[in-house]
Structure 1
Amino acid sequence: MRKVAVFTGTRAEYGLLYWLMKEINAHAQLELQVIAAAMHLSPEFGNTWQLIEQDGFNVDAKVEMLLSSDTRVGVAKSMGLGTLGLADALECLAPDVLVILGDRFEALAAAQTALILNVPIMHLHGGEITAGAYDDAIRHAITKMASFHAVAAEPYRQRVIQMGENPLHVVNVGALGLDHLARSPRLSRAELAENLNFSLEHPFFLVTYHPVTLADEQPVTNFKALLAALDEWPEYQVIVTYPNADNGGRAIIQELEAYAAQQPGRVLAISSLGAKRYLSAVAEAAVVIGNSSSGLIEVPSFGIPTINIGQRQSGRLAAASVLHCEATQGAIRAAFRQALSADFREACKNVENPYGQGNAAGQIVELLTSMSLDTIKHFHDLAGSSS
């Protein structure tokens, strides 16, 4: 029986991991261990560790690491706290392998701790590029600490191999979040409205905007430009979710809460929708707006337009249903006009998603049952490279 620890630090990441955790939990040869950290344990972000347990999982370790500060220094100190807590958690759980998804600072703390404790790492969604966030460098750093890689598209597989990883240990399984499309029930529009206690009698926009941590963008200024653009379409309601716990995020929370308070019948601000409500909202939304990776990875499979604002996701593969624009009111306005046009909305219904068809969890479980647990890595030189 292999003990597989799954690390999760944010609501969005857990939503992507849900079906993989279900598959691991049900497998006769695997034992699931859940490590919840950071935003999951914060009342400010909804205490979402409770949602994990409501979904039927046992949280085996809780790692407090999130400071109330969201400055760069605060984030760096949170990583230090995470390393301390994760060292104890991993020593206690003694997993045979640790699964880490993505590119956030919480994930880097988990990866570096596992590296020192000699716990093999299975990394999900490596090889991608998000040039507007320091997450980009974090993702590549985790790749170099991981022994096995389940990537979301073939160009990403080639990039991970280019980084010196053994091609036999790099597998293109598609995007894990797409498993929800075929496997997760969704709420109807009426059920969603009742669940949110928010009347959805008009078409609505779904908004998630995170701080841009690397590129030269001002979080509050850009978010205000987005809000101003939203007000140019007052006939549309707005559901806006909290940003992640990145530096600058709390200032955005203040802005979105004030915006919702000014228009209580039109705007709903919510800390966390959770996977079921989020995907139900995507399916019913007129447009998904912001700079979240879900707008590029999951939303195209619903045939819904995405407006991707600014540089945070710069470099990531995107379907034809994704409109990229600068973080100015004028540019966002122009993107709205195109996204709401009848021709574009019709074209979105038939786009091809470059991230696969939604069968990643089963493939990853096969890898987890068959992979060698040897943590000794060798740099793999490409053909023609000097050794």
Structure 2
Amino acid sequence: MKKILFITGTRADYGKLKPLIREVERSEEFEAYIYVSGMHLMEMFGNTYREIVKDGYRNVYTDFAQIHTDSMSYNLGDVICHLTGFVERIHPDLMVVHGDRIDALAGAVVGALNNIKVAHIEGGEVSGTIDESIRHAISKFAHLHLVCNEEAGKRLLQLGEEARRIHVIGSPDIDIMLSDSLPSINKAKNRYDIVYEHYGIFMYHPVTTDYPNLGKKIQQVVDALLESGKNYVVIYPNNDKGSEILLNEYKRMEGKRRFCLFPSLRFEYFLTLLKHADFMIGNSSAGIRESSVYGIPAVDIGSRQEGRYNLEESRNLQHVDERREDILEAIRHAQEYRFEAEQFGDGRSTERFMELLRGTDIWDFALQKRFVDLSSSV
């Protein structure tokens, strides 16, 4: 029985990996292992490892030995050290990582340097921060690329990856989004004591490459939210450098009737709340992807998602910089942008993932990769 090890460091990547983990767990041919690290283990961000434990998987390892600092490079090294020891104990046949977080980079490095196949979910995408460099680095270490769309696949070809290693499966979280298993809106509101009939969802993460300007930019954003007169479900940022600056500014919203602040939300409940929201605002990828699946208007603020979408195709989106008046204007016009899109998947990602696992191609190709020039037809 082949062992499939999934690496998760944040609530966001767990939401993407969850349908895949669940299906591997159900199968008779494979054994699922989950390595839980990073932001999941931090109390200030909701101790989200508990949500993974509640899901009842057989093999969950929560690495409480990790040290959490405000240095991304230190944290990366710490995860690599601890993950190496875990991998040496269980000897997985395949490691699965997602996206562009340091936990995924650690997984890709550990897998590649220990001759273990690595599958990267959602490689080949762009953004406006250090995350993009991390994502491309993961792709170069990974042996198998499970991308959202053809555009992402083409970028991997530009990175010199072999076409036979690239498979378009879509974004796995859309499988959950389009399922009939989400909680009702009343259940979601009752769970989190949200009393609003109308509300927006606000998620804003640090742009680490623009750290010196983060304070004045988030001040403009919070000024706009306070002045807008709207109700908001506010979800804490990720734990990148600068999160403490954001959280300090969020104190201005605490205790105000129009704002409900949460370190984290369980993924399925977040989806239900998003599906029924008036709009989403901030710089989270959820405002680019998940909002478009449900046709929820979204206001993308700043440079974090730069280059990740085309406004002519993503018709539910508005883009503004961190200026109070521009943000307020976008909020006023949000309902004019209620359009659905299918750019990132059709709800069959898990099915395609399992077909790959059950086939022979991904197990037969060599670990040693080679760079393919764009002029090559291979």
**TM class, shorter-length:** over 0.9
Q: Deviations over 1:176-212 (max 9, x none)?
A: 2211122252333322221002312x41110000001
Q: What RMSD, in angstroms, separates the aligned Cα atoms of the two structures? A: 1.9
Which residue pairs with 2:56 in the alignment? 56
Q: Deviations over 1:5-27 (max 9, x none)?
A: 00000011101111111111112
Which residue pairs with 1:185 in the alignment? 181
Whether 1:223 aligns to 2:218 is yes
**Within-5 A mapping of 1:343-362:** 344-345=336-337, 348-349=338-339, 351-362=340-351
Which residue pairs with 1:368 in the alignment? 357
SS of match in other structure, 2:183: coil
**Within-5 A mapping of 1:71-220:** 74-131=71-128, 133-183=129-179, 185-200=181-196, 202-215=197-210, 218-220=213-215
Residue identity in the other structure for 2:92: P
**CA distance 1:161–1:268, shift in 2 (3 Å):** same
Question: How many pairs are equivalent?
Answer: 372
Q: Deviations over 1:117-142 (max 9, x none)?
A: 111100010000012x1110011111
The whole-number CA distance in structure 2 between the counterparts of 1:68 and 1:7 is 17
The whole-number CA distance in structure 1 between the counterparts of 2:347 and 2:220 is 35
Give me the TM-score of the superposition, normalised by structure 1.
Answer: 0.91
Structure 2's unaligned 5+ residue stretches are none
The whole-number CA distance in structure 2 between the counterparts of 1:296 and 1:380 is 31
Residue identity in the other structure for 1:252: L
Give me the TM-score of the superposition, normalised by structure 2.
Answer: 0.93
Moved more, 367-376 or 137-146: 367-376
Whether 1:311 aligns to 2:303 is yes
SS of match in other structure, 2:363: coil
The whole-number CA distance in structure 2 between the counterparts of 1:65 and 1:218 is 33
Please say if residues 242 and 272 of structure 1, whose CA atoms lie closer than 8 Å, have aligned partners that are also in contact.
yes
Moved more, 34-43 or 374-383: 374-383
Name the % identity: 30
The whole-number CA distance in structure 2 between the counterparts of 1:64 and 1:219 is 30
Moved more, 246-255 or 30-39: 246-255
Residue identity in the other structure for 1:323: Q
Please say if residues 8 and 35 of structure 2, whose CA atoms lie closer than 8 Å, have aligned partners that are also in contact.
yes
Moved more, 351-360 or 294-303: 351-360
Alpha-carbon deviation of 1:321? 0.5
Q: Deviations over 1:43-68 (max 9, x none)?
A: 12111111112112235322347645
Moved more, 307-316 or 26-35: 26-35
Residue identity in the other structure for 2:42: S
The whole-number CA distance in structure 2 between the counterparts of 1:184 and 1:18 is 16
SS of match in other structure, 1:288: strand
Residue identity in the other structure for 2:298: T
Which residue pairs with 2:242 in the alignment? 248
The whole-number CA distance in structure 2 between the counterparts of 1:59 and 1:40 is 16
Alpha-carbon deviation of 1:384? 5.1
The whole-number CA distance in structure 1 between the counterparts of 2:56 and 2:178 is 20
SS of match in other structure, 1:231: helix
Whether 1:378 aligns to 2:374 is no
The whole-number CA distance in structure 1 between the counterparts of 2:62 and 2:367 is 25
Which residue pairs with 1:293 in the alignment? 285
Alpha-carbon deviation of 1:304? 0.7
